Structure 1
Amino acid sequence: MNPLPIIDQKKPHVLFVPYPAQSHIKCMLKLARLLNHKGLSVTFINTQTNQKRLVKSGGTRWLDNTPNFQFKTVPDGLPYATEDDIEHTQTVAELWSYMGTNFYDSFLDVVSGLETPVTCVVCDGFMTYTNTMLAAEKLKIPVILFWTMAACGFMGFYQVKVLMEKGLVPLKDESALTDEYLDMEIDWIPGMEGLRLRELPEIMRYLKPEDPAFKYLLETAQAADNVSHIIIHTFEELEDRLVKGIKSIFPDVYTVGPLQLHLNQIKEKETNNMDVSYYSLWKEEPECIQWLQSKEPNSVVYVNFGSIAVMSLQELVEFGWGLVNSNIYFLWIIRTDLVDGEAVVLPQELKDAMNEKGFVASWCSQEEVLNHPAVGGFLTHGGWGSVIESLSAGVPMICWPVAGDQQVNCRQMYKEWEVGMEIEKNVKRDEVEKLVRVLMEGLEGEKMRKKAIEWKKTAENAVSSNGLSCLDIEKLVNMIINL
């Protein structure tokens, strides 16, 4: 890596502040590289640990050939003695707490150390709790909020503010948390008609207004009202009425996805063969692709529950037996920390059975896997990064949502976009087996596959020269230049 990146003082200079998690960093790095390619200088802030992990995994190997792009780091409360320690991160709660207390001063230190003035800050919508906006205001730097999710995910989180204004949250006590309450339909969001309260993010879980998590969600939603420009990682055709509804509330909204397809186009068009690396905090295992090479088209179900989601060992075993009993080939990513609070130790009988049809790895290049001809379906937790990558590859899904926007993504996936099915929260091997077979062999699965391929074509059109996402990227760049 170039130890002294040079930022051109004549170019607009954008400072990126991602939420320090894999999917957020990956998405924001893609936008950062796209804006950099359009002529803007970029400084990207990572936590010290995540930057070490990114470098170790090869996620910054493109940096030497990318002028006017630099990384800066801030502390995350984790002193490490050796490079090996960087795989062991603190919990989400620990990181959240440390960043909430310390990021404001760290951010001011980073900006004061930059040789080139900052034109604007592109801040992750979930980093506003760190007082990034307050720090930027102090420095008189405009802030653009970037929601690295779908419009439905953004509106799902935004509802905490709306529901509080309507007196529906927080609840007075647990006795009010009835099925009747959770099944209440929300009728005021175009494009999400029939959405039930239980399908929103974890808003209903909190019973007291002073609950730190409730305050966090509320302040995050309110922050959206305090900026002039919002970026959402979707493409307008996918969520047409919902995006129109959001644009009726907020003054300037840019839908810029799928970002990977923008980068792919640049790589295809340009002679310098731009490296569009996948920006992973984990080392990707090339054996996954090698294994897929020997399989027939649409014969493999890819299984990955993302970078943060955890499950019990029993749930892991149920998924394992369901996949084995389906008799379908499967590529399964099992992170070392996938099981909550304990090591991943599968029964020997299950391990032996999995070897017949399955290939297990700890991480892979997900977009490369999803675009491989052998992959015909995706069993996912429904995180937006995974969903938009699957849509971009034309691959239908089975969804087992865990937290955050995953439930509402899953709901839209099967109700609005017709490309998926949902597994019950209380996962059972028989249901896993049945849905995998439906997805991979049934007429219903074939119907979803055709629909997914239609969405893939729509996504490709969105990033074409006259596509809505392409035009919004140009508007965004021009707006930053004119700040």
Structure 2
Amino acid sequence: MKNMHILAIPYPLQGHVMPLMEATRCFTTNGLKVTFVNTEFIHKKLMGASLEIDCPSDLMQLVSIPDGMEPCEDRNDHGKLTKAMFQLMPAKLEELINDINQNDDEKITCIVADYCMGWVLRVARKMGIRLALFCPSSAAVLAVTMSLQKLMDDQVINGRSGEILKHQMVQLSPTMPLMDPANFVWVCVGDAETNQIMFDSLFLEAKDAAEAADHIICNSSMELEPGAFTLFPKMLPIGPLLATNKSTRQVGHFWKEDSTCLTWLDQQPVCSVIYVAFGSITIFNQLQFEELALGLEDTKMPFLWVVRPGPSGNMDYVYPSGFLDRIGSRGKILSWAPQQEVLNHPSVACFMSHCGWNSTMEGVSNGVPFLCWPYFADQFFNKTYICDIWKTGVGLNKDGTGIVTRGEIKSKVEQLVNNNIHKANVLNLKEKLTEGLREGNSSNKNLNKFIDWLKEG
């Protein structure tokens, strides 16, 4: 039997790299060899964070290819980054595969690509390699991408630009929640030019790749999104991936985790701590940062707050006068946390989150109710799931000037921790997700089915 060798390639963002790395760790557990391809910029970040992958070293190798941008250029400019990647990376990926394929025993037998890297379809077709897509976001977001033609036909969006033509809620199927087109990912990434690049390069290409791929696997579950998986049965839920590996350390962080917070959590009463983390790209202005700090202070509860450096890489925020002295040891502030372990800690009462899909999955998998504060794109829809469909959290609302005030923060924290309904709902959902991952049940069965397909060559 020839060796099965999988090439995996994520979109170069924290929330995309981490779940695909978790998926490939499942592949290596089943004896499959994986070459994981990051951009050079991301590869350097991973190495700098002292990455350890808990799998046989001969089965997982990390390699990199250039993303087409100069080292000093701003990779937070998603339009520029996407355009550069789509111009250069196909040729570089082809070169890499040709190098690997020099060894007959090591030939790439399948590519598993993030659906945001739809250009990989052209490389796979040209080289005669099977292709599967990976969805690191909610299946509903991929369902929007797979429904682009319907959205064009119904004149919800302009087929050339992706611009919204009907400013009203849409429903992809009767079993799916309502969606606001204003929050479709390609509409709210940046200026008109950036949005156009994202629509053309990411979403139209992703639609073609999704139609052509042999399989699509999703970091979600039938229990969480029955409507999306019923609408597109080709999508296989294999998650929550982060919950499948609770016994091992999470992989794929871009920054070193500060584990001192776990010792601090050990010293707090059960269900007493507000965990506050907004992912890797959320940015606040100074006024909003101060209101958040003062809101946390006003709750009188212990809190663990992840404060990321600003875009410059420096600490761009200034704490309110006297804040750090007043909170003392009641608050623990750090720059990056071992989130899976934090959310699994009995001291954590609730999770104030940007509602990125990984954070959503981790919170639900650990039975933690949410305070929802979405920043952009799919996070608004994830909030709909949390607040309206699963009823496992409450939303934080902005005032007339666009600020979430300290009063709103205090009020919503009290509402959440004094009402057991959200906690009961999320514990019920956690139980269903755990059940789905058990041997022979939905997510587990789908993962095994996919791994069997990978092994067929």
Task: Give the alignment's TM-score, normalised by structure 2.
Answer: 0.89
Contact 1:48 1:76 in 2 (8 A): yes
The separation in 2 between residues aligned to 1:373 and 1:121, in whole angstroms, is: 40
2:348 counterpart of 1:375: yes
Residue in structure 1 matched with residue 198 of structure 2 by the alignment: 213
| Residue of structure 2 equivalent to 1:254 | 236
Please say if residues 380 and 398 of structure 1, whose CA atoms lie closer than 8 Å, have aligned partners that are also in contact: yes
1:154 aligns with 2:146: no
Post-superposition CA distance 1:446-467 (Å, at most 9, x none):
2111111111111111110121
Residue 245 of structure 2 aligns to a residue in which SS? Answer: helix
Counterpart of 2:62 in structure 1 is: 71
1:36 and 2:9 matched: no
Which position in structure 1 is the counterpart of 2:39? 47
Query: Superposed, which structure 2 residues align to 1:460-479 within 5 Å?
Result: 460-479=434-453
Identify if the C-alpha distance between structure 1 residues 191 and 144 changes in structure 2 by more than 3 Å, giving closer, same or farther: same
Relative to structure 1, the CA distance from residue 118 to residue 291 in structure 2 (aligned partners, 3 Å threshold; closer, same or farther) is same
Show the counterpart of 2:414: 437
The one-letter amino acid paired with 2:9 is V
Give 1:329-348 correspondences, 5 Å limit.
329-337=302-310, 343-348=316-321
Identity of aligned residues (%): 26
- State the match for 1:11 in structure 2: 3
Q: CA deviation at 1:121?
A: 0.5
In 1, distance between residues paired with 2:90 and 2:159?
32
Matching of residue 480 in structure 1 with residue 457 in structure 2: no
Q: Where does residue 24 of structure 1 map in the other structure?
A: 16
Q: Secondary structure at the residue paired with 1:281?
A: coil
What's the counterpart of residue 132 of structure 2? 144
Work out the CA distance in 2 between the residues paired with 1:318 and 1:122: 43
Match for residue 294 of structure 2? Answer: 321
Render the CA deviation track for 1:37-60: whole Å, top value 9, x for unaligned: 112111100122222221221223
State how far apart, in whole Å, the 1-side matches of 2:205 and 2:6 are.
Answer: 24
Instruction: Tell me which amino acid in the other structure corresponds to 2:239.
Output: G
Letter in 1 for 2:108: V
2:223 is paired with a residue whose SS is coil
Cα displacement string for residues 329-366 of structure 1 (whole angstroms, at most 9, x for unaligned residues): 11010111279998122233333344363111000110
Q: Which amino acid aligns with 2:171?
A: D
Q: 1:17 to 1:61 in 2, by over 3 A?
A: closer
Deviation track 1:67-89 (CA, whole Å, cap 9, x = no partner) reads 32111111235677xxxx99x96
Paired with 2:83 and 2:328, the residues of 1 have a C-alpha distance of 42
Q: Do the aligned partners of 1:201 and 1:405 also contact (CA within 8 Å) in 2?
A: yes
Q: Which amino acid aligns with 1:308?
A: I
Alignment of 1:302 with 2:294, yes or no, is: no
CA 1:343–1:230 in structure 2 vs 1: closer, same or farther (change >3 Å)? Answer: same
Change (3 A) 1:66 1:263: farther
CA distance in 2, matches of 1:133, 1:433: 49
Distance 1:339 1:422 in 2: 30
5+ residue gaps, structure 2: none
Indicate how the Cα distance of structure 1 residues 387 and 210 shifts in structure 2: closer, same or farther if over 3 A, else same.
Answer: closer
The answer as to whether partners of 1:190 and 1:245 remain within 8 angstroms in 2 is no
Residue from 454, 458, 461 that aligns with 2:428? 454
Q: How does 1:195-210 map to 2 (within 5 A)?
A: 195-203=179-187
Using the TM superposition, give the Cα deviation of residue 188 of structure 1 relative to its aligned residue in structure 2, in angstroms. Answer: 3.6
Asked if structure 2 preserves the Cα contact closer than 8 Å seen for 1:370 and 1:393, the reply is: yes
- Give yes or no for the alignment of 1:422 onto 2:395: yes
Q: Structure 2 vs 1, CA of residues 242 and 79 (structure 1 numbering), >3 Å: closer, same or farther?
A: closer
CA distance in 1, matches of 2:3, 2:371: 45
| Aligned residue number for residue 189 of structure 1 | 173
